[in-house]
Amino acid sequence: MQLNDKYWNNRYEKLETGWDLGKVSIPLKQYFEQISDKKQKILIPGSGNGYEGEYLFNNNFINTHILECSSKAVHNFIKRAPSFPKNQIHNIDFFSFEGKFNLIIEQTFFCALDIKLRKDYVKKVSSLLVKGGKLVGLLFDIPLNTAHPPFGGDANEYLQLFSEKFKVEVLERCYNSISSRRGKELFVILVKK
């Protein structure tokens, strides 16, 4: 299985989008609500239909960027959020993207990548953050399968993977997951060293 833009576009075209919450994720919304600096530069890679990007922008986080390889998902987003600045929408492969951000948001993007790319993800996220910038979001705490996404993992694996480039500020069971993910995800705040 090649997890490329064609694969993901096809999933969006066929509405085979079991991961899609249809609204901003509750744990992320609660995290966003306590951020005071609304001017910081935020990136949401693998943003899908982009509910978190839409929420942030509508709540005056004016420097929010979304990144997504599927043109269909980007099209869905633009239809729903027509006033979102077009120069903050990146329809591109994550690993080809360049930039510098204060905050990167993770939700079901890491688990959608081929597991061979995990170290590359850590490197890329680190390179896209300023020093002291944060990777914040949700990582699945489910057995690792190698057949198809979502690819799982656990706290030990994530600690090993991220510790070289990030200080682990929070890595704990998410207490406010949506019901279908309760007990299956970790909330993380990782600070670039």
Ligand X SMILES: C[S@@+](CC[C@H](N)C(=O)[O-])C[C@H]1O[C@@H](n2cnc3c(N)ncnc32)[C@H](O)[C@@H]1O
CB-nearer residue toward ligand X: 69 or 103: 69
Helix (H, G, I), strand (E, B) or coil at 180: helix
CB-nearer residue toward ligand X: 94 or 162: 94
> Residues 74, 68: contact at Cβ < 8 Å?
yes
> Residues 14, 70: contact at Cβ < 8 Å?
no
Smallest gap from residue 31 Cβ to ligand X (A): 14
Residue nearest to ligand X (CB): 48
| Amino acid at position 37, single letter | D
CB-nearer residue toward ligand X: 64 or 70: 70
CB-nearer residue toward ligand X: 63 or 108: 108
Start-to-end CA span in the chain (Å): 35
CA pair distance 88, 99, nearest whole angstrom: 11
CA pair distance 46, 67, nearest whole angstrom: 6
Smallest gap from residue 64 Cβ to ligand X (A): 14
Smallest gap from residue 67 Cβ to ligand X (A): 6
Interaction site with ligand X (CB under 6 A): 8, 19-20, 46-49, 67-70, 73, 93-95, 107-109, 112-113
CB-nearer residue toward ligand X: 120 or 193: 120
Smallest gap from residue 8 Cβ to ligand X (A): 3
Helix (H, G, I), strand (E, B) or coil at 124: helix
Smallest gap from residue 183 Cβ to ligand X (A): 18
The angle, 0 to 180 degrees and rounded to 10, between the axes of the packed helices 155-162 and 118-128 is 50
